[in-house]
Amino acid sequence: MIAAAGAANFGLVGNGQLSIIGFEDNTKEMRLLKKYGTQTGINDIAWSEIHENQLVSAGLDGSVLLWDIKVPQHPINIWKEHTREVMSIKWNYIAKDCFISASWDSTIKLWKSDISQSLGTVAKHQGCVYDIAWSPINKNVFASCSEDKTIQIHDLSNGMAPTLTLTGHSDQVLSVDWNKYNKHCIISSSTDKTVRMWDIRNTKHALLQLGPFEFPCKRIICSPHHRQLVALCGYNMNIMIWDLDKMQPVYIHDEHKEFVFGIDWSLFHPNLLVSYSWDEFIHLFAL
């Protein structure tokens, strides 16, 4: 099952839609199972780590909505604390009833699905916060990236201040993700058209750099199955799967006709990915 976020008019103005997509029995054909209309566009969504029918969405109006696909029409919870667009939303892998959201209002908020207000706010970036990523092994640690050209590492057990700040990019940092097999390794993409990998034990220099490319990468996702593989997508309309050991792409998906806005790996099929684009198509493909 796939959940897809949508926004009218490229997210500039208008309504949004949350779509739940499944597969016809014994075929590879995708079909729309359910759709939920929203009064604003949706930037990001995340399936719950504790409830198979629930997911959260990040709204262009600053709202965070909790949905249950067994409940028709309406979200089961609504939070309206962010004052600008919510750009990224992620469930905690370990404390599975918690999630975080990142916003253009420069803040990151921590939530629990059964509590009516946020548990706390991190406001240490000096610009829009574009993306966030939980550590896969530590329930208190997450990374964030921002318009202010930095990546911050936060440990909530030590308070709300960042414990590390990475400053190697020369322009806005658009996306960040944690390597699922190395607790010290994160990867980031920037409008400086590079992708960089970092060891948070030594923040002076990046471990490696991909690019500069012709266009920036909008989203990067480390494989949950292969230590060395990372998926990149963005403004060149392609998805590239890079092998960081070989330092070269091992697969390129070039069938989208517009900017590729998002990508994700299947948790159950090691070489299966899904992508969505401004061309209004969702692609499911295998390496």
Number of domains, the chain:
1
What's residue 12's pLDDT?
Answer: 67
Residue 218 lies in a domain: yes
The answer on pLDDT for 276 being more than 80 is yes
Task: Return all residues near 128 (Cβ < 8 A) that are at least 6 apart.
Answer: 84, 87, 103, 104, 105, 106, 146, 147
pLDDT tens-place string over residues 179-191:
999 999 999 999 9
User: Residue 213 and residue 159: Cα distance in Å, rounded?
Assistant: 37
What's residue 11's pLDDT?
Answer: 63
Cα torsion angle, 5, 232, 29, 26, sign: negative
Residue 149 zone, left/alpha/beta (φ > 0; ψ -120 to 50; rest): left
Annotate 109-125 with b (16+ C-beta within 10 A) or e (fewer): bbbebeeeebeeebebb
Residue 27 lies in a domain: no
The answer on pLDDT for 8 being more than 80 is no
pLDDT tens-place string over residues 17-26:
899 998 766 6
Task: Return all residues near 25 (Cβ < 8 A) that are at least 6 apart.
Answer: none
Residue 33 lies in a domain: no
Domain extent at residue 100: 42-286
pTM of the shown model: 0.93
What's residue 10's pLDDT?
Answer: 64
73 or 262: whose pLDDT is higher? 262
Query: Which amino acid does the sequence have at 136?
Result: P
Residue 191 lies in a domain: yes
pLDDT tens-place string over residues 37-69:
888 899 999 999 999 999 999 999 999 999 999
Residue 2 lies in a domain: no
User: Residue 263 and residue 168: Cα distance in Å, rounded?
Assistant: 25
Residues 63, 67, 71, 77, Cα dihedral to 10°: -50
The answer on pLDDT for 74 being more than 90 is no
Q: How confident is the model at residue 264 (pLDDT cuts 50, 70, 90)?
A: very high
User: Residue 17 and residue 199: Cα distance in Å, rounded?
Assistant: 38
Residue range 210-215: mean pLDDT, rounded: 94
120 or 10: whose pLDDT is higher? 120
Query: Which amino acid does the sequence have at 25?
Result: D
pLDDT tens-place string over residues 114-172:
999 999 999 889 999 999 999 999 999 999 999 999 999 999 998 878 889 999 999 99
The CATH number of the domain where 251 resides is what? Answer: 2.130.10.10
Q: How confident is the model at residue 72 (pLDDT cuts 50, 70, 90)?
A: confident
Residue range 79-96: mean pLDDT, rounded: 96
Cβ proximity of 118 and 111 under 8 Å: yes
State the average pLDDT for the chain.
93
